[in-house]
Every structure is written in C-alpha cells, then in structure tokens.
Amino acid sequence: MEISASVKPAIWGAIGGAIAATVVGFVWGGWVTGGKAVIMADNSAEAAIVLAFTPLCIARAEQQPAQLELLKKESRWSRGDFVVKAGWVANVTEKYRSDVASACAAAIVEAMDAAAKPKQ
C-alpha cells in the first residue's frame, strides 16, 4: 500500500503529538498509572481510618486520667505501644491499630503540652 507524500507528514505529526501529549500528561498533568492510583487510594483510605478512630481513642483515654500522665512519661517511640496495652484502640482492626495508637498518643501528648504552657 502506497501512502501519498502529503499524508506522511500528517501521520508523523499525529504520532509525535500523541507521544508529546502522553509525556506532558504523565510528567506535568498529574496522570498516573492504574497501579499508582490503587496505591494512592489505599493510602487515602488508611489515613481516613486513622483520622476516624483517633477521636474515639482520645475519648477512651480521657476516661482514665491517671493513665494520661503515665503516657506522657513514656518515650515518644513507646507511646503507641502504651496506648495499645491500655486498650484504647481495642476496637480498631489489627492492621490499623499501630497507626491509630501512634496518632492518638501524639494528639494526647500535644494537647497536654499545650494545656501546660502558660498563656501570654
């Protein structure tokens, strides 16, 4: 099959334009592959679960004020374990328990530090 000389530049231009559009779309346009989209959705879902369960953990912690001071005395790295052992995240699935416990502990200690600071 013979393609006329006037059509060849148009075909090559269309091919080049498609390649350029693809490169621009993935580099600057925010396009992602299906696999990357699944990873992003999973991360968003996990963050939403942590945000949803953190207030429930804080509410349980407030019911045990004696434990709050003990939590604050723990090192930053062991506070999540303290929250799990205290049972404040018992209603959270094992998969997300550690993340919720860490977020809960950080929020509680941050609130306690803010309350302890003298107001100016």
- Tens-digit pLDDT profile for residues 93-109: 999 999 999 999 999 99
16 in a domain, yes or no? no
Banded model confidence at residue 115, pLDDT cuts 50, 70, 90 = confident
Q: How many domains does the chain have?
A: 1
Burial 73-109, CB ≥16 within 10 A → b, else e: eeeeeebbebbbebebbeebeeebbbbbbbbbbeebb
* 26-77 pLDDT tens trace: 889 989 999 999 999 999 999 999 999 999 999 999 999 999 999 999 999 9
Banded model confidence at residue 4, pLDDT cuts 50, 70, 90 = confident
pLDDT reading at 120 higher than 70: no
24 in a domain, yes or no? no
pTM for this prediction: 0.71
40 in a domain, yes or no? yes
Banded model confidence at residue 20, pLDDT cuts 50, 70, 90 = very high
7 in a domain, yes or no? no
In terms of residue numbers, what domain contains 62?
Answer: 33-116
2 in a domain, yes or no? no
Tokens of 36: 């990357």
Res 41: pLDDT: 96
Which residues does 28 contact at the CB level (< 8 Å), separation at least 6?
none
